[in-house]
Amino acid sequence: MNYEILSGIKNPADIKKLNNSEINKLCKEIRDCIIDTVSKNGGHLASNLGAVELTVALHRTFNSPEDSIIFDVGHQCYTHKLLTGRFDRFSTLRTEGGISGFMKPSESEHDPFITGHSSNSISAAYGIYRAKKLSGQSGTAVAVIGDGALTGGMAYEALNNAGAGKSNFIVVLNDNKMSISRNVGALSRSLTKMRNKPKYHYFKFALNKFLLKIPFGKYINSLIVKIKEAVKSVIYRNNIFSSLGFNYLGPVDGHNVEAIESLLKIAQSYNRPSLVHVITTKGKGYSYAESSPKNYHGVSPFDIDEGATVVGNLNFSEVAGNALCKLASVNPKVCAITAAMTSGTGLSEFAKTYKNRFFDVGIAEQHAVTFCGGLAKGGMKPYFAVYSSFLQRGFDQIIHDCAIERLPVCLLVDRAGIVGEDGETHQGIFDISYLTSIPNIEIYSPSYYEELEYLIEKSVDANCITAIRYPRGCEAQNKIPLDYEKEFSVVGNNGKTAIITYGRLFCEALKAQSQSDDFDIIKLNKVFPLSQDLIGTIANYDNILIFEETIKNGGIGEHLISMLCEISWNGRFEIHAIENKFVPSASVSSALKSNGLDSDSMLRSIKCQN
């Protein structure tokens, strides 16, 4: 494709030299580039197409990197990357060794903070803003938060804190779904239309400036503001942002660069916090994404002319959702909870079939866990389906609101282990380490669909927290019959060397065993707590190697070696897990290989033992 203007943008200052016609052409080229790249690499499409003009307006108004612009969730930052010197590398988006699909400070000075998860932008931006002021640095910090991320409680904690400050800190709300204030009547509509005209804002700014120069002007201006706020409170009713101390500006058309710039400049003129409300359309400029933004939020590679197709292969998420539907059909106490990930966690059918027992709490994992605790306390059977990396936010609530009282909440931990191209912020490699530190919890990690179904059915009778963790994608084809009622299974009869593993890596171990019978496999059907029967069995081996798709620190390997030491076992023990590091973007297979967790790595380790 020919990117006549975009190819010439080396830094944000370049777009300030463009006229309106050139800006419109630039926005078109940006959309074409995003669609073309995502169609090849996969990624977040609809959210980025909707934020093109907004991002252009931000960079025309502010001066990055002197002014820190933080996008939340960071998956709406593709335009930002293209405008900050990364056009030449944009084709490497979300590939191994390429640029990240999220903001990443190590990648560019224009990415001031990492934002792979949601609802942290206001906290981070306000912290950076205060640091600049305290240290005498020039520049400001701006938080750009989506309406979805605004459902996270952390965002409101930050708004409450920042709103109390007497400074011109700016938050931009990228609203592509909901209305914040309910406007009533013809007068309300007329005022909204007037407030969004650039001339109105320039007139208001000029009037304020004039009044402050004349005698008693300060008092006149204060009176005007009070009258205006009183009228607004009647017409617009309560506005949560105004109540929190922010000067509310908008809403404004999020696809009109000039209008957004005007409102941002007005926000810069105030000496108190401002929130600029921008209305955008997800998927803007690509008909398939505009008509079905939900399906084009995160996509795999697709044909641009035909649109993205839904892959029909069954996956672990769908199996979990189907199993919950089956369980709910015979047990009226079964409830399903999600944190804004209905389709991603396979709960679409449950939401449709059992509406009164389905709860989407928004991007609020902390609330979700405690809400589940309340449901369990009331006699229901709650199942919280959540990505492993997102569950991290609910750690405190798992301890205090569920585990202490031994409430039977079931955590369906989706995307456990390596997830691939989304990179460091999304890899599900920490849940084992932090969950095993909590009393009154049982952890399982199925290798097959039928095992997942069995565990979900069994968990309805649990008397403590149950965590069932499973990987992204499909089950492996090399299946063997197993007795899932047992806490562990032994495959082979070598008797001297054993690989201990669980979850997806069990299938890698089977693949290795098909090439060599020099070892047994001990599959942990119940990952934690570890039983004395298991310790007694593995103590009979001379050489033990554990492979686990999780961080090494606090993993099952460390728990095992501790228990073996207690019985004075004197064999050889090796832990093969992810060292104390974060795992960058790469395909699942490549990441497993580079971390020594694939079948070939297992075979090499066995040969070293022998």
pLDDT at 97 over 50: yes
CATH class entry, domain 6-180+243-299: alpha beta
DSSP single-letter state for residue 496 = S
pLDDT at residue 574 tops 60? yes
pLDDT for 5 beyond 50: yes
pLDDT at residue 460 in the model: 96
CATH 3.40.50.920 domain locations along the chain? 488-609
| CATH of the structural domain 316-469, one choice from 3.40.50.970, 3.30.70.270, 3.40.50.300, 3.40.50.170 | 3.40.50.970
Here the tokens at position 283 are 């998927």
Q: State both tokens at 26.
A: 């630039």
The pLDDT score that the predictor gives to residue 307 is 85
Given a cut of 70, is residue 187 above it in pLDDT? no
Decide if 260 contacts 252 (C-beta within 8 A).
yes
* CA dist list (Å): 1 to 29, 30, 43, 127: 9, 11, 20, 41
Q: Which single residue is written with the structure tokens 């994608």? A: 473
Active-site pick, 393, 415, 469, 552: 393
Judge whether 393 counts as a catalytic residue.
yes
For the stretch 424-479, pLDDT in tens is: 999 999 999 999 999 999 999 999 999 999 999 999 999 999 999 999 999 999 99
The model's pLDDT over 334-362, given as tens digits with 9 standing for 90+, comes to 999 999 999 999 999 999 999 999 999 99
CATH 3.40.50.970 spans which residues of the chain?
6-180+243-299, 316-469
Beta partners for 501?
A: 523
Q: How far apart are CA 396 and CA 366, in angstroms?
A: 8
pLDDT of residue 178 exceeding 50, the answer is: no
209's CB contacts (< 8 A; 6+ apart) are none
- Encode pLDDT of 13-51 as tens digits: 999 999 999 999 999 999 999 999 999 999 899 999 999
Selected catalytic residue, list 282, 472, 504, 526: 282
Confidence of residue 198 (pLDDT cuts 50, 70, 90): very low
Taking only the tens place, the pLDDT of each residue in 283-304 is 999 988 988 887 888 888 888 9
- How large is the angle between the packed helices 599-609 and 505-513, nearest 10 degrees? 60
Helix (H, G, I), strand (E, B) or coil at 484: coil
Residue 148's pLDDT is 86
Residue 502's closest CA among 475, 482, 522, 520? 522
More confident residue, 433 or 165: 433
Q: Which pLDDT belongs to residue 296?
A: 84
- Is residue 319 within 8 Å of 334, Cβ to Cβ? no
Give the C-alpha separation, 49 to 31, whole Å. Answer: 6
Q: Scan for tokens 């605790």, then name that residue.
A: 373
- Residue by residue, DSSP assigns 193-234 as HHHTSHHHHHHHHHHHHHHTTSTTHHHHHHHHHHHHHHHHHH
Containing H/E element for 456? helix 449-459
Query: Between the CA of residue 424 and those of 105, 153, 581, 583, what are the distances in Å?
Result: 13, 23, 9, 5
pLDDT band at 205 (very low <50, low <70, confident <90, very high): low
Tokens (6 digits) for 332: 């009226």
* pLDDT tier, 576 (very low <50, low <70, confident <90, very high otherwise): very high
Residue with more model confidence, 311 or 532:
532
pLDDT of residue 495: 84
In this predicted structure, the answer to whether residue 189 has a pLDDT above a threshold of 80 is no
- pLDDT at 219 (0 to 100): 67
Strands (E), 220-345: 247-253, 274-279, 298-299, 334-338
- Residue 469's SS3 state is strand
Q: Would you put residue 365 in left (φ > 0), alpha (ψ -120 to 50) or beta? A: alpha
Catalytic annotation, pick one of 29, 53, 261, 365: 365
pLDDT score recorded for residue 209 = 59
Structure confidence at residue 55 (pLDDT):
97
pLDDT in tens, 477-533: 999 999 999 999 999 998 899 999 999 999 999 999 999 989 999 999 999 999 999
State the Cα–Cα distance between residues 445 and 434, nearest whole angstrom: 15
- Is 282 known to be catalytic? yes
CA atoms within 13 A on the CB side of 271: 2
Angle of the 316-330 helix axis to the 449-459 helix axis, nearest 10: 40
Task: Say yes or no to pLDDT of 562 above 90.
Answer: yes
What pLDDT score does 200 carry? 54
Helix H, strand E, coil C: the string for 415-435 is: CCECCCCCCCCCCECCHHHHH
pTM: 0.87
Residue 163 has pLDDT above 80, yes or no: yes
Indicate the fold that domain 488-609 takes in CATH.
Answer: Rossmann fold (3.40.50)
Percent of the chain with pLDDT over 70: 89
Nearest CA-CA partner of 285 in 29, 31, 3, 26: 31
Mean pLDDT, to the nearest integer, of 142-170? 92
* Torsion sign across C-alpha atoms 146, 151, 152, 153: positive
365 is a catalytic site residue: yes
